[in-house]
Structure 1
Amino acid sequence: MADRRRFHLDLDGHAVSVLCGRPSRAVEMLVDGKVVVAARVRAGAAAVLRGEFPGDPPQPFAVYVVRPADPDEAPLCTLDTGGMRYLMPVVPLGPVRPQRPHNPPSRTPDEMVRRWVDHHREHRRERGRAAPHSPAASPPDTPPDTPPDTPQMVSGPKGR
């Protein structure tokens, strides 16, 4: 569970919010932005918060908050008024940040190898080095007129 959760419902022109805090187990109910009731609720226990909608005549209502015993689970919040029960949805406390699009990773090892080879081939070209399969990439001890498949004589110590 996050440190704080906010439940919110707009009903008959009034905004009802319930804030549940994890560390202190505090529960606050706000009607039209003003704190009406505050209480502490034990884990695994339920709280009934009673209030009135302003108006002539005032309309009574009750909010039921059930905190689960497991701290990773979300509390349940319902509002009762005039014989009707409404489930209060969880809404974020701050602005929602849009997710940045990202490139999906290669899905197969072949694609990963191809991307790696292409990247390094481009990197070599940018640095001015020769491509791996060009004639300039042959070893320096091979004479230029000798075909690459021809075996070469290697001189070593005599007598062995």
Structure 2
Amino acid sequence: MTTQLETLPYRHVLTLPAMGSAVRIARETTEQVLMEWGIARRHPSVDPALLILAELVTNSVRHAAELSPNVTVVFAGGPDTFAFAVHDRHPYQPALYAAVTGTGTGTGIGTGGLATVVELTLQLGGTAVVRGDADGRGKSIWITLPL
């Protein structure tokens, strides 16, 4: 995928307290955003995107809340692309593709939520990227999916 995120015409930003209800609210907001952008709920990328988003928000709530009281979800979209990022202010940057190959600190090949995130993203022909904040004290995990 070569879509430049900056060129996508649709944008939405959601910031929530890093607590359990953030997952439900982020999913519901994603469904609403997609509907407003004209992407049908039955589109084959929607359910996997909701699962990926829920996993990333869950990880931020579980692992980053102590250092990051908020989690932010940024949505970007266009006619053939849906992208979103989950951002927190915890400095740890996971090795996304190591989660799938078992070369990271995980317990094996394809284990854990990040492995699911990467596998689903790749199955849909998308990309997953970790981008650190300029000050090194936070990160965003960007998922870009074709529509």
Structure possessing the higher relative contact order (Cα contacts under 8 Å, 6 or more residues apart): 2
Counting helix residues as a fraction of each chain, which structure ranks higher? 2
Counting strand residues as a fraction of each chain, which structure ranks higher? 1
- Tell me the TM-score normalised to structure 2 length: 0.26
- Tell me the TM-score normalised to structure 1 length: 0.25
